[in-house]
A and B are shown apart, each in its own frame.
Chain A
Amino acid sequence: QKEVEQNSGPLSVPEGAIASLNCTYSDRGSQSFFWYRQYSGKSPELIMSIYSNGDKEDGRFTAQLNKASQYVSLLIRDSQPSDSATYLCAVNNAGGFKTIFGAGTRLFVKA
């Protein structure tokens, strides 16, 4: 069983729509959760981190965490063609040195 699972996509949404990206994880002891964006040929860049159950909003991005269901999601409102990228979900145990990354979901935003 993969430790962090994501739908590989591609997920295609029209410009201006909401893109919903999902991630599940297997380790119930996980405490820190991250979303990274990776453009083709570039390194991952951090979008958001979330540590508590519920929603966390930052501009057009909202991260949602449900530890009971071992589920974390990222919503992108008013999607733009520049949001087209691969989105990586990452999970870490507090005090641990290993952050486990999902394989990523490819998002295409059509103009």
Chain B
Amino acid sequence: SQTIHQWPATLVQPVGSPLSLECTVEGTSNPNLYWYRQAAGRGLQLLFYSVGIGQISSEVPQNLSASRPQDRQFILSSKKLLLSDSGFYLCAWSVLAGRASSTDTQYFGPGTRLTVL
């Protein structure tokens, strides 16, 4: 079965510090990978998605970046955190999208709660 891991689970960082969040998926090959952010009491905001190694699409211009160095590894980074970067960061995976079927379904990791002070 497939599992998705995220770490760290919680993080408190000062403004202006760098960030690196990691996500790994087990039990599947060539997944689509996604980074979302959820602000307190808000919906999910898609930040990045990736359909393969080195292929990153950005949905929202911001000071964050993403990389996919391996098939089942997705990294979210920032060089300098802002207060507004605080939130719950979620990584998700799905198999290759195609006709409407179970392959469209996204599954979420446990998340990283980031507080920027």
Contact = CB atoms under 8 A, between A and B. Distances in A.
Contact of B100 (A42, A46, A51, A88): A51
Interface in B97-112: 97-102, 104-111
A66 interface: no
A108 interface: no
Interface in B30-71: 32, 42-44, 46, 49, 51, 57, 59
Contacts, number: 61
B90 interface: yes
B97 A96 contact: yes
Nearest to B112: A43
A43 B110 contact: yes
A101 B113 CA distance: 19
A26 to B, nearest CB: 15
A70 interface: no
Contacts of B49: 97-98
B97 A49 contact: no
Interface residues of B, number: 25
Contacts of B113: 41
B105 A49 contact: yes
A99 B106 CA distance: 8
A44 interface: yes
A102 B101 CA distance: 20
B114 to A, nearest CB: 14
Interface in A12-26: none
Interface in B74-114: 90, 97-102, 104-111, 113
Interface string A38-62: 0001111110010100000000000
12 contacts: A31-B99, A36-B108, A43-B109, A46-B106, A88-B44, A90-B106, A92-B104, A95-B99, A96-B97, A97-B32, A98-B49, A104-B43
Given A43-B111, A44-B90, A99-B46, 8 more contacts: A34-B106, A43-B108, A43-B109, A46-B107, A92-B97, A94-B100, A97-B51, A97-B97
4 nearest A-B pairs in the assembled complex, by CB-CB distance: A103-B43, A31-B100, A32-B104, A101-B44
